[in-house]
Structure 1
Amino acid sequence: MCKGLATLPATCLKSAKDIKHKISFLLQKPEPQAAEQKHSKERAAAASAAAKRLPTATEVEKWKESFNHVMSSETGRTVFTSFLKSEFSQENIDFWMACEDYKKTSPAKLAARARKIYQQYVEADAPNEVNLDAATRDETRQSVDNACPSCFDRAQKVIYTLMEKDSYRRFLNSKLMNALSQSFHQENIAKKNCNLLESSRLLAGGA
């Protein structure tokens, strides 16, 4: 922090600080689903680490460009998960991530893991049932009976598209994204004022 920052208007600093507290609160790490806890420790740890830092302005601008940028970023997925949690549709990204983890499962454990994912997210009246059409649900059920690394590919793609076409659009206009943008705006103002104060101090000292 520059020396002149302490002399910035108190309202400006308080506003930026309040926004950051609000963002940190909104990014609280969601609790993992009970049936998925054993298989999501690494994912939960990574999400927790991502939630401990605020995204940069560059990251947020990337997220605005495409949904792919959100999903390919650990911090992006954490922020998007927080948004889905506020909409009570967290099961979509949980399922997508479970499918990603499943592809890394050893062959000996594929069948058991596939059955757990199917029972948790896919079958009718599952605890965290995702919104799949009947044909995709039936195809997935048949694939799970002969478990292979790609047996959830179609269902995962359907949910990805659903998030991209529906939730992502609302995410871009959400309070969370607006808070992030506002935070960067306040920081830019503070930095500009700080630079002006430093320049004035140097000029005054050299006069």
Structure 2
Amino acid sequence: MNANYCKGITGRQQNSNQLQRTHAIYIAECGVVSQSIARVISTAPRLVQTHSITPLISFMSLSFKLTFFCAKDLKNRLFSILLNSEPHHPAISFLSNMTGNLDLSMGLTLEEATQWSKSLEVLLTDPRGLAAFRAFLKSEFSEENIDFWLVCEDYKKTKSTDKLSSKAQHIFREFIRSDAPKQVNIDGNMRDLLSRSILLPTNGCFEGAQRIIFGLMEKDSYPRFLKSDVYVNLINKIQANNSHR
């Protein structure tokens, strides 16, 4: 049996299980709210008789709000599951390998780490520097720029025409179009240009956008990285390791 087909079946089964678990949680949560509303309604006659209308109205209002938020929360959870169930495209599959608890100080000399402060280009040339920089951006929930830069680097090396077209479409959907999940900050003219370029894609069709994003990282993210705890602590750890030798 085809391996990709088996993977697809497994992915759909896992997604189905997630949906079932989410639905069960929603039923349980809203069940608690429903029980609260039922208790209020059952005590309504007594509250009315004792002229305690204000607490009745306040509590029922709160209960209905909670029910509304249960439904809204379910919608958000289901959307997250469905969004994350999309198969990873080869153009970005390698990004997941860059995350995790990496001890970047292992095997890294002080001279190599301080070289990262020379320029963003030097930093990105070192795989450990690239991993540290992406970890910093990920901690700020702003890794879309470095991810876009990375997939553009991968895209430029693509030789197959079929893969070039497939990757171009995926990069556009993932990073460029107005509703892209990881939309990067480029102007409307560049966005329109890319929407036309991917119809007949070349290895260089994303270079203009890549330069813009590199410039943004160079002026904003990179200086903040050099002052961040991620970088400062790494330097301090290497110095501490050297002093114990």
Counterpart among 175, 181, 186 of residue 235 in structure 2? 181
For residues 57-96 of structure 1, the aligned pairs below 5 Å read 57-96=110-149
- Which TM-score applies when normalising by structure 1? 0.69
For residues 126-141 of structure 1, the aligned pairs below 5 Å read 126-141=180-195
Deviates further, 165-174 or 143-152: 143-152
- 1:36: Cα distance to partner? 4.2
Matched length: 159
Structure of larger gyration radius: 2
Pairwise CA RMSD: 2.4
- 1:158: Cα distance to partner? 0.5
Moved over 2 A (4+): 32-45, 47-56, 187-191
Distance of aligned partners of 1:80 and 1:180 in 2 relative to their CA distance in 1, 3 Å threshold: same
For residues 38-187 of structure 1, the aligned pairs below 5 Å read 38-42=90-94, 44-45=96-97, 47=98, 51=102, 53-54=104-105, 55-105=108-158, 106-187=160-241
Return the alpha-carbon distance in structure 2 between the equivalents of residues 131 and 48 of structure 1.
Answer: 23
Return the alpha-carbon distance in structure 2 between the equivalents of residues 125 and 172 of structure 1.
Answer: 32
Counterpart residue identity of residue 172, structure 2: Y
- 1:121: Cα distance to partner? 0.2
1:116 aligned counterpart, secondary structure: helix
- Which TM-score applies when normalising by structure 2? 0.59
Distance of aligned partners of 1:35 and 1:142 in 2 relative to their CA distance in 1, 3 Å threshold: farther
Instruction: Determine which structure has greater relative contact order: mean sequence separation of CA pairs < 8 Å that are 6+ residues apart, divided by chain length.
Output: 1
Return the alpha-carbon distance in structure 2 between the equivalents of residues 174 and 37 of structure 1.
Answer: 32
Distance of aligned partners of 1:59 and 1:49 in 2 relative to their CA distance in 1, 3 Å threshold: farther
Q: Where does the alignment leave 5 or more consecutive residues of structure 1 unmatched? A: 1-31, 192-207
Q: Where does the alignment leave 5 or more consecutive residues of structure 2 unmatched? A: 1-83
Counterpart residue identity of residue 139, structure 2: S
Distance of aligned partners of 1:60 and 1:53 in 2 relative to their CA distance in 1, 3 Å threshold: closer
Any conservation in 1 of the 2:99–2:135 contact (CA below 8 Å)? no
Identity of aligned residues (%): 36
Deviates further, 71-80 or 105-114: 105-114
